[in-house]
Amino acid sequence: MVPQDLQADLITSLKAGKLTRVETLRFLIAAVRNSAIAKYGSDAEKKLTEADIMDVVKKQVKTHRESIDAFTRAGRLELAQKESAQLEVLLGFLPKEMSNEELKTILAPVVAAGEKNFGLLMKSAMAAVKGQADGGRVAALLKQIV
């Protein structure tokens, strides 16, 4: 996925009248641009990679999940529903996550290495998972295994 793909999706969504998707894409495009400028400066357009875009999408997903929790706790269900709809749009850009069984299979050798420091264990686990699962899920499974 490149910024031009996001722009094309935005235009298509505008023409189709999908307002939630349009709003989400506008925020995502702005976040990608801001991240690229912060990371690469004036060469942002040329150096931006697909991995950079995926990192921004993951950060946006995390932010939306936190917002949903906060709005739900505060009793603002209409805002939580809006955030949920935007989260669904963002999840469409991420690759499918691994199942718990697949994660356990990948994490077993990492745990077998014998690392006692949980921070270093998480670092090794996240390197093994390669972004195909949320860090919270990985941490929870590691705690179960260890």
| pLDDT, one tens digit for every residue, the chain (146 residues) | 678 889 999 999 999 999 999 999 999 999 999 999 999 888 877 888 888 898 899 899 999 999 999 999 999 999 999 999 999 999 998 888 788 888 888 888 888 888 888 888 888 888 888 877 878 888 888 888 87
Range of the domain at 70: 3-91
**Whether 13 and 82 share a structural domain:** yes
First-to-last C-alpha distance (Å) of the chain: 37
pLDDT value of position 13: 95
What is the total count of domains within the chain? 2
Interatomic CA distance for residues 62 and 146, integer angstroms: 26
Q: Name the burial class of residue 99, with classes exposed (0-12), middle (13-18) and buried (19+) by CB atoms within 10 angstroms of its CB.
A: exposed
Give the DSSP letter of residue 17: T
> Is the CA virtual torsion 38, 42, 43, 45 positive or negative?
positive
Q: Which pLDDT belongs to residue 117? A: 86
Same domain (yes/no): 82, 106: no
Q: Which helix (H) or strand (E) holds 99?
A: none
Q: What are the phi and psi torsion angles at 115 (to 5°)? A: -70, 130
Residue 68: which residues within 8 A CB-CB, separation 6 or more?
80, 83, 84, 87
Within 10 angstroms of residue 2's Cβ, the number of other Cβ atoms is 12
CB 131 within 8 Å of CB 54: yes
The answer on 113 and 58 residing in a single domain is: no
15 lies in the same domain as 69:
yes
